[in-house]
Amino acid sequence: MSLQLQMLGTGSAFAKKYFNNNALLGDGSFTLLIDCGITAPLALHQLGKTFNDLDAVLITHIHGDHVGGLEELAFQMKYAYHRKMKLYIAEALRDVLWEHTLKGGLSQPGQITCLEDAFDVHTLQPGVPCRLSEQIELELIPNRHIPGKDSFSLYINGRIFYSADMTFDPGLLDKLVGERGCDTILHEVQLEGPGEVHTTLSELLSLPEPVQRMIRLMHYADNKDEFVGKTGEMTFLEQGHVNTL
């Protein structure tokens, strides 16, 4: 069974040529938005789609390039489409998302006073697979991104790893490929400089070639074209293209 992946954007948080690294994952009758950053409303519009075309949104962690478009999404759903969007979110991020990100803009006494007033909230527990649609099952995997802040990667249908933002974790990739049947890795990349809170290209180039062949790179900087041909066996995901996974 194949899925369709269309990146709304493939850029890093500071990219200007590319939209935020947000993705549409579809199975033909269900479409999930993975992360909804600052640029998501415009990126979606440029693909000729609206929020009403989506069935659900999932958040990996609390950074503007992953949650900055949620206020507009919630308002559009309420006032333009008159329904609530399903929101899949780790239990650990639920209160943080409301209290520290959305409450200021979304709250209206008597109308919107909590996250559930704005979204149809479904909390996820890491390590517990959740069926989102007939053909999409997804598990959160805690990762290391910003010390002291919760952040999650995704494992989809027992074979597709979506890193979201994370520092290099070769042990996790080795385990997923060696023990859990992973055949596709959608991985963020920081093309230059020390990783600090991201995974660098040079770190990914240290992986065995068979693993590199599974990797599609995303969340990259504006000078990505300078690195075409310098990514070993790995290839870049392109913004807007529909990929069959």
Ligand X SMILES: Nc1ccn([C@@H]2O[C@@H]3COP(=O)(O)O[C@H]3[C@H]2O)c(=O)n1
Q: Which of 9, 18, 58, 65 binds ligand X (CB under 6 A)?
A: 65
Q: Nearest distance from residue 65's CB to ligand X, in Å?
A: 5
* Nearest of 162, 158, 164 to residue 135 by alpha carbon: 158
Taking CB under 5 A as the rule, does residue 63 contact Zn ion? yes
Instruction: Pick the closer one to ligand X by CB: 12 or 101.
Output: 12
Taking CB under 6 A as the rule, does residue 35 contact ligand X? no
Q: Which stretch binds ligand X (CB under 6 A): 8-16, 85-93, 108-116, 222-230?
A: 8-16
Q: Nearest distance from residue 86's CB to ligand X, in Å?
A: 24
CA quadruple 39, 41, 45, 49: dihedral sign: positive
Q: Nearest distance from residue 37's CB to ligand X, in Å?
A: 9
What DSSP state is assigned to residue 4? E
How many residues interact with Zn ion (rule CB under 5 A)?
Answer: 4
Token couple for 84: 């609530």
CA quadruple 193, 196, 200, 205: dihedral sign: positive
- The one of ligand X, Zn ion, none whose footprint includes residue 196, by CB under 5 to 8 A per kind, is ligand X
Instruction: Pick the closer one to ligand X by CB: 14 or 79.
Output: 14
* Nearest of 68, 58, 51 to residue 13 by alpha carbon: 68
Taking CB under 6 A as the rule, does residue 165 contact ligand X? yes
- The one of Zn ion, ligand X, none whose footprint includes residue 56, by CB under 5 to 8 A per kind, is none
Burial (CB < 10 A; 0-12, 13-18, 19+), residue 90, is buried
User: What CA–CA distance (Å, rounded) separates 34 from 59?
Assistant: 6
Query: Contact 35/23 with Cβ under 8 angstroms?
Result: yes
- The one of ligand X, Zn ion, none whose footprint includes residue 27, by CB under 5 to 8 A per kind, is none
* Nearest of 170, 172, 192 to residue 180 by alpha carbon: 172
- Residue 159, C-beta contacts closer than 8 angstroms, at least 6 positions apart: 181, 182, 183, 184
Site string for ligand X, 136-155 (x = CB under 6 A): ----------x---------
Taking CB under 5 A as the rule, does residue 27 contact Zn ion? no
Query: What residues numbered 89-108 form the site for ligand X, per CB under 6 A?
Result: none
Point out the residue whose Cβ comes nearest to ligand X.
13
Residues that bind ligand X (CB under 6 A): 12-14, 63, 65, 146, 165, 196-197
